[in-house]
């Protein structure tokens, strides 16, 4: 029912000469963006540092990572890689021509998912005294005292709010921001949760973390301003090839990181 409703809404005109972005294509772009951010954090971020230290990846899933060589550098690798990806995506989104709205949306969402994740994650790590950044801090400066934890939380809130601002601006240039944001959040969260649900280690920490990182962290996408519709030349049209790519990405992700690579017993 949801795909039918999205597809119907996608072509509903809002005035003479105006169209709305195709909902299914927006959803597909969001799926690709969210899973790319997960791969970047876990596989490229943590994984590359692990291999660089001559370690072996013993567990890799949607939200869990273990390496045979413990290191604070591995802990910080995931968040750092996502911050780098987010900045690159943000800069690239500003250079894409207005006539390529699909690319602009994809890059904007990559920056949004990465920034919301890492900003919220930093606040959570300092509050709950666990997680990548807390562990890295403990290794570099010793067990973080409350001033360090407050500073880290302020940094996380700052990153989160900065991400909110750039996401608002990015979606504003595309028009129909509220609808686009809601479709993006629903499809990205669904894709992340569905692919994480096949994890061989069962539901639990992995599934919860995945929802927190993509779903809960990016809740602001649900309350984007309405925005204006755009003339046909700047509308994201129906792109079946993008739907197919998103489906392939989901299947491949579910078969690898989704079900988990390595020993789930190491979680």
pTM: predicted TM-score of the whole model, two decimal places? 0.89
Q: Please name the residue ranges forming H helices in the chain.
A: 2-10, 23-39, 47-52, 72-95, 101-128, 132-141, 146-172, 177-196, 205-210, 240-253
Per-residue model confidence as pLDDT tens digits over 93-114: 999 988 899 999 999 999 999 9
Rounded average pLDDT over 15-20: 58
Mean pLDDT of all residues in the chain? 88
DSSP string, 92-135: HHHHS-TT-HHHHHHHHHHHHHHHHHHHHHHHHHHHHT-SHHHH
What pLDDT was estimated at residue 158?
A: 98
Band the pLDDT of 173: cuts 50, 70, 90: confident
Q: Taking the mean position of all CA atoms in its chain, how far away is CA 10?
A: 23
Pick the range with the lowest mean pLDDT from 69-73, 89-93, 144-148, 161-165.
144-148
Among 202, 61, 192, 72, residue whose Cα is nearest residue 131: 72
Backbone angles phi, psi at 9, to 5 degrees: -65, -30
pLDDT per residue as tens digits for the range 193-203: 999 999 999 88
Contact 38, 65 (CB under 8 A): no
Please write the tens of the pLDDT for every residue from 21-74. 999 999 999 999 999 999 999 999 999 999 999 999 999 999 999 999 989 899
Domain ranges in the chain? 19-266
Q: Over the stretch 205-258, which tens digit does the pLDDT of each residue have?
A: 999 999 999 999 999 999 988 766 666 668 899 999 999 999 999 999 999 999
Which DSSP letter does residue 53 get? T
- Site of tokens 């301003």: 225
More confident residue, 110 or 138: 110
Coil, helix or strand at residue 248? helix
């Amino acid at each position: 029912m949801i795909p039918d409703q999205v597809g119907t809404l996608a072509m509903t005109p809002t005035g003479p000469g105006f169209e709305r972005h195709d909902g299914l294509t927006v959803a597909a772009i969001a799926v690709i963006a969210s899973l790319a951010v997960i791969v970047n954090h876990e596989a490229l971020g943590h994984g590359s540092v692990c291999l660089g230290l001559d370690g072996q990846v013993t567990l890799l899933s949607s939200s869990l990572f273990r390496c045979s060589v413990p290191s604070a550098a591995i802990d910080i690798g995931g968040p750092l890689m996502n911050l780098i990806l987010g900045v690159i995506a943000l800069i690239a989104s500003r250079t894409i021509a207005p006539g390529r709205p699909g690319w602009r949306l994809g890059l904007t969402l990559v920056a949004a998912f990465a920034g919301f994740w890492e900003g919220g994650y930093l606040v959570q790590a300092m509050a709950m005294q666990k997680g990548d950044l807390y562990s890295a801090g403990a290794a570099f400066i010793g067990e973080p005292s409350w001033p360090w934890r407050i500073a880290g939380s302020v940094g996380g809130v700052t990153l989160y709010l900065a991400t909110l601002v750039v996401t608002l601006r990015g979606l504003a240039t595309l028009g129909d921001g509220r609808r686009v944001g809601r479709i993006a959040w629903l499809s990205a969260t669904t894709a992340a949760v569905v692919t994480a649900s096949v994890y061989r280690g069962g539901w639990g920490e992995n599934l919860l973390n995945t929802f927190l990182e993509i779903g809960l962290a990016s809740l602001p996408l649900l309350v984007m301003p309405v925005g204006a519709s755009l003339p046909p030349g700047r509308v994201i049209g129906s792109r079946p090839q993008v739907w197919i790519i998103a489906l392939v990405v989901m299947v491949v992700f579910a078969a690898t990181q989704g079900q988990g690579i390595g020993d789930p017993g190491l979680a």
